[in-house]
Amino acid sequence: MACIVTKPAKLTSAKEVDISNLDACNLTPFHLATWQSDTTGMVAEKQVNKFLNPMAVAWPNMNFLNPNELVMGHIIMNDSKEASRDPATAKGCVRGNACKEIYWDPSEVRAAVVTCGGLCPGLNSIIREVTNTLWHQYDVRHIYGIQAGYNGLSNPEKFKPVQLSPDKVRDIHMKGGSILKAGRGGFNPEQICDRIERLGINMVFTVGGDGTQHASHLLYEAAKKRNLPVSIVGVPKSIDNDVKFFDKTFGFDSAVATASEVMKNGWVEATSCEKGVGIVKLMGRDAGYVAMHAALASTIVDLVMIPEVKVKLEDIFEHIDHTLARKNFMLIAVAEGAGQEFVATGQTDATGHTVYGDIGTYLRDEINRHLKASGGRSFYIDPSYIIRSCPIRPNDHIYCSRLARDAVHTAMRGYTGVCVGPIHNIIVIMPSELIASGKRRVKLTSSAWQSCVQSCNMPLSLTGL
């Protein structure tokens, strides 16, 4: 059994910080000790968290966070982009690491990990480190891997949970994919609450994108309504890097590294024939981060097309002609969501998402028609499934491990209905409803996009500037 902390401590009050219900640091609705109270502000963890973190016993000199540490969202003085900053983070975000006092008695914890949506590099790294942190740092022995996404939580009879342990997850980070078979659909908050209550699960880690985290918030609301004490902590996933507020998502660096290597293949094809144009289609439904960063990393790209910039076909042809006249080859990186004005389908899938047309094959065919008279041609590569199924890269694995550990620490501190992620490279806690409130997109006035434009020597007409 964990030790109980009885020593009171004075904390900064919500009134002193002047927190409203619109601020990211308003976490009293998202802590199991205060979620039923109609109050706003930060949580007085040293007063409500009664158990001593077992790591404080194992490592007496270990440093723990002050539970009221804040990471300020706006850190630039005389900011040229002040008007575009989201006000939710202006008063800061609570740090998401280990604290000396915790809410849960580790001996009573029964945890579950679920991966939702499509594949992404790093899923197995998250599963591995959540398991190891629970097992080794908190002595938790009941850890369930939920199969097939939310389907496994709604219907564990059909999709049987996997018992996770350090032996089970030891080397899973060496391969891509998810050992839990990530899946879509199957979300039913009332049914899930029934199932986790029956299984005695009181800690759920949801790994997935904005849709998953929106569902995670709905699950939190359903649990709150029936006063079912369960810590629900999300680890946002998006290979497109379009999760709102956070610096980046796990798997993104691995995707960019693999995409950069594929860009070299496109360059080889383009430079190995007369008037060759290589076209590489990359991930990026609504945000062009992968294409932009792959171009910056490879430094061999002449045109980057992203969803944030609408272009004209004649301007693309003009840039191709000028580039071929200058060096006899060209390389294009195009995000899958770019140029939808040319290929829009007008359709939606079963989940309500827009079905995008194939901009890659459209560009290939149009460029081939344009170059036919002059003897040029295009070479088209679509490495999407190669990228999303690739193993995690070393630095990305380190990042996944940070996220997973801090997700566990956040849950042990008693938070629920929240996500963890980095702001200014410091992991913080944010309500899931904020993370699910929109998508991050490439800002055309950002230094990253302007550097990309300059690196590729793109004409003004194709930049959105």
Other CB atoms within 10 Å distance of the CB of residue 314: 10
Confidence at residue 38, expressed as pLDDT on a 0 to 100 scale: 86
Q: Regarding predicted confidence, which is higher, 209 or 401?
A: 401
Which residues, 6+ apart, have CB-to-CB distance to 290 below 8 Å? Answer: 239, 240, 241, 252, 255, 256, 259, 282, 283, 284, 335, 387
How does 380-400 read in b/e, with b if 16+ C-beta sit within 10 Å?
Answer: bbbbbeebbebbbbeebbebb
Question: What are the angstrom distances between the C-alpha of 249 and each of 154, 386, 434, 457?
Answer: 27, 19, 16, 28
Provide the β-strand partners of residue 250: 237
Confidence at residue 239, expressed as pLDDT on a 0 to 100 scale: 92
Confidence at residue 6, expressed as pLDDT on a 0 to 100 scale: 46
Whose tokens are 């020593």? That residue is 7
Q: Is 419 within 8 Å of 67 (Cβ atoms)?
A: no
Does residue 57 sit in helix, strand or coil? Answer: helix
Mean pLDDT in the chain? 92
Identity of residue 307: P
Confidence at residue 16, expressed as pLDDT on a 0 to 100 scale: 53
Q: What percent of the chain has pLDDT over 90?
A: 81
Cα separation, 117 vs 319, whole angstroms = 38
Cα separation, 255 vs 388, whole angstroms = 7
Q: Is 87 within 8 Å of 21 (Cβ atoms)?
A: no
Question: What are the angstrom distances between the C-alpha of 289 and each of 39, 101, 224, 421?
Answer: 38, 39, 36, 18
Which residues are known to be catalytic?
Answer: 240
Q: Is 278 within 8 Å of 363 (Cβ atoms)?
A: no
Q: Regarding predicted confidence, which is higher, 56 or 85?
A: 56
**What domains sit in the chain, N to C, each tagged with a CATH number?**
45-72+88-249+392-436 (3.40.50.450), 252-390 (3.40.50.460)
What confidence tens digit (pLDDT) does each residue in 252-273 have?
999 999 999 999 999 999 999 9
Confidence at residue 352, expressed as pLDDT on a 0 to 100 scale: 72
Confidence at residue 8, expressed as pLDDT on a 0 to 100 scale: 39
Whose tokens are 């849709």? That residue is 211
Q: What angle do CA 321, 324, 325 make, to 5 degrees?
A: 80
Confidence at residue 76, expressed as pLDDT on a 0 to 100 scale: 87
Rounded to two decimals, the pTM is 0.91
Q: Which pLDDT band holds residue 346 (cuts at 50, 70, 90)?
A: confident
What confidence tens digit (pLDDT) does each residue in 417-463 have?
999 999 999 999 999 999 998 899 999 999 999 999 999 999 999 99
Confidence at residue 344, expressed as pLDDT on a 0 to 100 scale: 87
Cα separation, 288 vs 282, whole angstroms = 9
Confidence at residue 442, expressed as pLDDT on a 0 to 100 scale: 95
- The order of strands in the sheet holding 276-282 is 303-305, 329-335, 276-282, 377-381
Provide the β-strand partners of residue 421: 428
What confidence tens digit (pLDDT) does each residue in 200-221 have?
999 999 999 888 999 999 999 9
